[in-house]
Amino acid sequence: MEILEIISYNQTEKITEVTFRLVNDDEDMLRIDVIENEYFDEFGFDFLQPMTDFLSEEEDSVDDFWDYIDEDDLKSFLNEYYVVYPEKLPNAEYE
């Protein structure tokens, strides 16, 4: 079981909704899951990161600017998450 691609994802402070495809899934298959963000902490992933790319050099603080996990980190997290919790892997659905 390995994540081939993340189709889409949406994060809030409490949950992450992700649509993805596994390596063995057909092209017209999708998997959709909603994961509580507490699992990110459990696996050592910080789902909420300071966002510095869009700040100018004059700004001293990034306290008010936050970004959620990027796609590569999300993919790594999902691969680990479903190894530990295989029963939580959603069934594939056809588009």
pLDDT digits (tens, 9 = 90+) for 49-80: 655 554 445 554 444 445 678 899 999 999 99
**Which pLDDT belongs to residue 23?**
96
pLDDT higher than threshold 80 for residue 25: yes
On whether the CB atoms of residues 35 and 12 are closer than 8 A, the answer is: no
List the domain boundaries for the chain: 3-94
Location of structure tokens 């510095």: 52
